[in-house]
Structure 1
Amino acid sequence: MATYFLQFFSSMAFATIVLGFLVMFFVWRFLMNQRRNSNSPPAVPGLPLIGNLLQLKAKKPHQTFAKWAETYGSIYTIRTGASSVVVLNSAELAKEALVTRFSSISTRKLTNALTLLTADKTMVAMSDYGEFHKMVKQYILASVLGTNAQKRNRCHRDTMIENTTNCLHTNVRENPLHPVNLREIFKKELFRLALKQALGKDVESIYVEELGTELSKQEMFDVLVVDPMMGAIEVDWRDFFPYLRWVPNKSMEMRIKRMATRKFAVTKAMIQDQKKRIASGEVIDCYLDFLLSEAKTLKDEQITMLVWEAIIESSDTTLVTTEWAMYELAKNPKYQDRLYREIQEICGSEKITEGHLPHLQNLSAVFHETLRKHSPVPIIPLRYAHEDTQLGGYRIPAGSEIAINIYGCNMDKKEWDEPEEWKPERFLVKGNGSIDLFQTMAFGGGRRVCAGALQAMLNSCTAIGRFVQEFQWRLKEGEEEDVDTVQLTTHKLQPMQAIITPRDGA
């Protein structure tokens, strides 16, 4: 019995020693982690395993992030399942991330949906910064979006504006008291412009052999623009738990794959149709023609993706900004009248053209204030820190995801007085001064600055100016508070409904 107790106590003593060592080890690890994380950004409290996911269930993350910034500051971290995300909510921090620390966080972090829709980053906007990105960005600038290309394509933009205003006049003549749906009219003309720039001509319908059917203009728009835009914001829960990627999510996968297959098939059919025109000897000045003649190293699949990108990006963000600008002007007669008087003073009896834009300061202010309040892209697609870096004086470990909340930057009360109010006078400049195009961060900055910034400004400002020059706008009764948006975006949920009256002489 004595031997038994001796063995028992010896075992207990050994177990106690081992347990003591384990406790000391974990305390040491905890202290080391605390020391290592002592200079980390503040963390928004969340739940075990899922982190802050439940707090983001409203699907308006840009608004939630901006609200958290009021409590935790302009830089903080959140947990989305297995990932740690550093959220930036000030222009100063955004510029630091996009410019100063660019080399450390130049890699894109895409969701499962975006990986499929972009053919694993085979496009300018979503590709990682490297030789491919620099090459294809130069292609689209040279052919479509650069200064010289904009001059060559001006005739297409002039036609787009003329067609839109003619449609508005027709609507008023046929239904003078009925509200107009600007979105429906303008999106058709923007789509025509996108097709002309990308393919060399407008396409009214196309037979798609892979789908075994002929698609109308509206069906093409849905397949190439609407469906991918909605697919891009699809949430796959496996994005938050990478170690569970083996678990199937069939319905979501099939839905996104169908979108990707259909838009690829339609774009490919359009390209084949235009290749026949080119082969017949017809001279075509368009993006596709440029890619076929200059981009000898690109595969057919890559060319197809780049042509589709030129179509979708020309058809979407300009529409969003222009519709919100007209909503705000119709809601605020004082600003609308101020802009109209400026147009009369500068243009007289002439219709506004792009040549007038540098002299129309109120129009420029309306455009930039709309970009600020209604940022077309509220959160820049996530970046990935591939090495340890710093932001805002905090240590950011490799592996962190970086979310730049453009909406939060533009709602920062330290930077903007009454940011929730739409006040174009913020952007009025004295003398010959010019507005910093990236003050609102709407087009990003640094080496990844948006290639389409110039075209977006020309299209939107000319359209807004002509709409106000030729019509007086007022919202349909009850429209003032209709400001809900589509899930993760700032796209207006319902089209603006406005009563328009032709001005004298228009």
Structure 2
Amino acid sequence: QINYICFYQVIYLFIYLFSCYFIYLSIYLFIFNFCRFGPPYITFGPVFTVYFGPKKVVVLAGYKTVKQALINHADEFGDREITPLFHDLTKGHGIIFANGESWREMRRFALTNLRDFGMGKKKIEEKIIEETCHLLEEFEKFEGKPFETTRLMNYAASSVISSIVYGRRFEYTDPQLRSMVDRANESVRLSGTASVQLYNMFPFLGPWLKNLKLIMNNLALDIKEISELVSSLHQTLNSQDLRGFVDSFLVRMQNAEESGEKNSLFQKQNLIFTVANLFVAGTDTTSTTLRWGLLLMAKYPHIQGQVQEEIDQVIGGRQPVSEDRKNLPYTDAVIHETQRFANIAPISIPHMTSCDVHFNGYFIKKGTCVFPLLMSVLWDEDEWETPQNFNPQHFLDKQGRFVKRDAFMPFSAGRRVCPGESLARMELFLFFTSLLQRFRFTPPPGVSEDELDLTPAVGFTLNPTQHKLCAVNRL
């Protein structure tokens, strides 16, 4: 009798969880399609509630609402929602998935030192330009034949952030770089799968979820690899000649130890996870946006042609530099439109209210999970003329001059705005312009532009679905 009861209880439990799984998928697809295509039958307000399993989530939609929350109420909506997965990954260390004094100190230190090592300045521009030369050489090796762009774009972006963090770049053939990039890609993809999101709703399911185990295995390998790199830098540390972010952190750790500072936040765990945050964020977002850019150029050859015509007229055959941006309004508009249209972080990373807040006529309790839908900002019909189309004219006036748009928020806004925004902007411009100067991107032979699929592959970020392109030398 007892065995039968236990058996049926297990069956009912699995039926219940299976139902929750599809409920989650329905909610996710509803939000995605709501933002992308608009509500077909029901109109929701800009603030509404959904439930992910037992968890209440407040969703903010539309430019005005998201701006009001993240900028006008920055403190109230400035905390990070630490889901079970994020907690397992970092235990509150690092920058992205942390709160409180530790987050403030790590973010402040990171921003200061990233600027010191050239982020957004001439110093880092030289490193990006050096990297573009390596990337162009790799593209050249395919001799116009079809190839998959993912890894090369990842290697290029990773080498740039590595030069800032570790003080040196990695060769694309370096097995250490390849393993780090492959694990980062896999973890980003797996983090967005339904089974991992199910774990965030029902953490007790963790031991039975294969994708979660893969993510945690990747994390263990990442920690081991970063620790080895940090240890190597520590052995050759010279406080008078700092090579990168890790050196600065190690010196700060030494100073804390020598001064007898107790409970210092500058300790090994924060170093490892801050480095991991910078590496993954600095690799995935930039490389994914560039892949979207090249795919869109192949999809819309007339737009690609206008970009290349402008580059030829303004730059000619010399190496593009950041200063060229102001003289390349159409190219700049295409890059911005790629970021807007691709919206690679459509739901943003979840926020959490730091206190009770009255917002737009609603009372939201402290500790409530909040999803600011960046897709609803970047595709807001009240802010963009043709939000569902790839249209560089969104960023151009009638005279063809580049214009800024307030609703352009691919890096989020407020207290949690991406700390690497200036680096990402420089990378996107220099990589994209250099690639379009040298190559014309086309679909593989036998594939028309219309057949290139713009449906994203859903993960933690939205990547293009797997595809190949041809890079035909223009010189």
Is this a same-fold pair by TM over 0.5?
yes
Question: What is the match of residue 41 of structure 1?
Answer: none
Q: Is the 8 A contact 1:367 1:461 kept in 2?
A: yes
Q: Are the structure 2 counterparts of residues 367 and 72 from structure 1 closer, same or farther at C-alpha, using a change threshold of 3 Å? A: same
Deviations 1:95-153 (A, max 9, x none): 11112222223221122222122x1231222222x433232222222222579543222
Question: What is the match of residue 82 of structure 1?
Answer: 54
Question: What is the match of residue 420 of structure 1?
Answer: 388
CA distance in structure 2 between the partners assigned to 1:61 and 1:266 by the alignment: 39
Question: Per the alignment, in what secondary structure is the counterpart of residue 348 of structure 1?
Answer: coil
Question: Per the alignment, in what secondary structure is the counterpart of residue 390 of structure 1?
Answer: strand
Question: What is the match of residue 182 of structure 2?
Answer: 222
Question: What is the match of residue 381 of structure 1?
Answer: 349
> Out of 63, 74, 88, which is 2:32 matched to?
63
The Cα of 1:256 is off from its aligned counterpart by: 3.6
Question: What is the match of residue 44 of structure 1?
Answer: none
Q: Is the 8 A contact 1:52 1:78 kept in 2?
A: no
Q: Is the 8 A contact 2:117 2:245 kept in 1?
A: no
CA distance in structure 2 between the partners assigned to 1:444 and 1:301 by the alignment: 27
Question: What is the match of residue 93 of structure 1?
Answer: 65
Question: What is the match of residue 125 of structure 2?
Answer: 154
CA distance in structure 2 between the partners assigned to 1:171 and 1:454 by the alignment: 31
- Match for 1:179: what amino acid? P
> Out of 294, 303, 313, which is 2:252 matched to?
294
Q: Is the 8 A contact 1:79 1:85 kept in 2?
A: yes
Q: Which moved more, 1:425-434 or 1:101-110?
A: 425-434
Question: What is the match of residue 169 of structure 1?
Answer: 140
Question: What is the match of residue 323 of structure 2?
Answer: 355
Q: Are the structure 2 counterparts of residues 146 and 485 from structure 1 closer, same or farther at C-alpha, using a change threshold of 3 Å? A: farther
- Match for 2:101: what amino acid? E
Any unmatched runs of 5+ in structure 1?
1-46, 207-213
> Out of 164, 167, 174, which is 1:197 matched to?
164
Q: Are the structure 2 counterparts of residues 362 and 112 from structure 1 closer, same or farther at C-alpha, using a change threshold of 3 Å? A: same
> Out of 242, 246, 249, which is 2:207 matched to?
249
- Match for 1:409: what amino acid? V
CA distance in structure 1 between the partners assigned to 2:355 and 2:33 by the alignment: 28
Are positions 1:260 and 2:219 aligned together?
Answer: yes
Structure number with greater Rg is 1
Deviations 1:396-434 (A, max 9, x none): 344532111111222222332332110011111478976
Question: What is the match of residue 452 of structure 1?
Answer: 420
Are positions 1:185 and 2:152 aligned together?
Answer: yes
Q: Is the 8 A contact 1:116 1:260 kept in 2?
A: no
Q: Is the 8 A contact 1:111 1:239 kept in 2?
A: yes
Q: Is the 8 A contact 2:292 2:342 kept in 1?
A: yes
User: What is the TM-score when the length of structure 2 is the normalising length?
Assistant: 0.83
Are positions 1:269 and 2:228 aligned together?
Answer: yes
Are positions 1:499 and 2:470 aligned together?
Answer: yes
Q: Are the structure 2 counterparts of residues 114 and 419 from structure 1 closer, same or farther at C-alpha, using a change threshold of 3 Å? A: same
CA distance in structure 2 between the partners assigned to 1:258 and 1:455 by the alignment: 30
Q: Are the structure 2 counterparts of residues 184 and 438 from structure 1 closer, same or farther at C-alpha, using a change threshold of 3 Å? A: farther
> Out of 430, 435, 438, which is 1:467 matched to?
435
Question: Per the alignment, in what secondary structure is the counterpart of residue 260 of structure 1?
Answer: helix
Question: What is the match of residue 402 of structure 1?
Answer: 370
Q: Is the 8 A contact 1:386 1:399 kept in 2?
A: yes
Question: What is the match of residue 239 of structure 1?
Answer: 200
- Match for 1:420: what amino acid? Q
Question: Per the alignment, in what secondary structure is the counterpart of residue 49 of structure 2?
Answer: strand
Q: Is the 8 A contact 1:69 1:89 kept in 2?
A: no
Aligned-CA RMSD value: 3.1
The Cα of 1:365 is off from its aligned counterpart by: 0.7
The Cα of 1:248 is off from its aligned counterpart by: 5.8
- Match for 1:355: what amino acid? E
Deviations 1:151-184 (A, max 9, x none): 2222221111111112222322xxx4x2133323
CA distance in structure 2 between the partners assigned to 1:59 and 1:277 by the alignment: 49
Question: What is the match of residue 272 of structure 2?
Answer: 304
- Match for 1:309: what amino acid? N
Question: Per the alignment, in what secondary structure is the counterpart of residue 470 of structure 2?
Answer: strand
Q: Is the 8 A contact 1:357 1:461 kept in 2?
A: yes
Q: Is the 8 A contact 1:50 1:80 kept in 2?
A: no
Question: Per the alignment, in what secondary structure is the counterpart of residue 97 of structure 2?
Answer: coil
- Match for 1:501: what amino acid? V
> Out of 112, 120, 127, which is 1:142 matched to?
112
Q: Is the 8 A contact 1:83 1:400 kept in 2?
A: no
Q: Which moved more, 1:439-448 or 1:88-97?
A: 439-448
Q: Is the 8 A contact 2:341 2:378 kept in 1?
A: yes
CA distance in structure 2 between the partners assigned to 1:427 and 1:69 by the alignment: 26
Q: Is the 8 A contact 2:299 2:452 kept in 1?
A: no
The Cα of 1:246 is off from its aligned counterpart by: 5.2
- Match for 2:280: what amino acid? I
Question: Per the alignment, in what secondary structure is the counterpart of residue 454 of structure 1?
Answer: helix
Q: Is the 8 A contact 1:65 1:87 kept in 2?
A: no
- Match for 1:440: what amino acid? F
Any unmatched runs of 5+ in structure 2?
1-15, 257-263
Q: Which moved more, 1:480-489 or 1:300-309?
A: 480-489
Q: Is the 8 A contact 1:91 1:409 kept in 2?
A: yes
Q: Are the structure 2 counterparts of residues 449 and 427 from structure 1 closer, same or farther at C-alpha, using a change threshold of 3 Å? A: same
CA distance in structure 1 between the partners assigned to 2:172 and 2:330 by the alignment: 40
Question: What is the match of residue 319 of structure 1?
Answer: 287
Question: Per the alignment, in what secondary structure is the counterpart of residue 305 of structure 2?
Answer: helix
Question: Per the alignment, in what secondary structure is the counterpart of residue 442 of structure 2?
Answer: strand
- Match for 2:249: what amino acid? L
Identity %: 19
User: Aligned pair count?
Assistant: 439
The Cα of 1:81 is off from its aligned counterpart by: 1.9
Q: Is the 8 A contact 1:365 1:424 kept in 2?
A: yes
Deviations 1:336-375 (A, max 9, x none): 1211121122213322112212221112111111111111
User: What is the TM-score when the length of structure 1 is the normalising length?
Assistant: 0.78
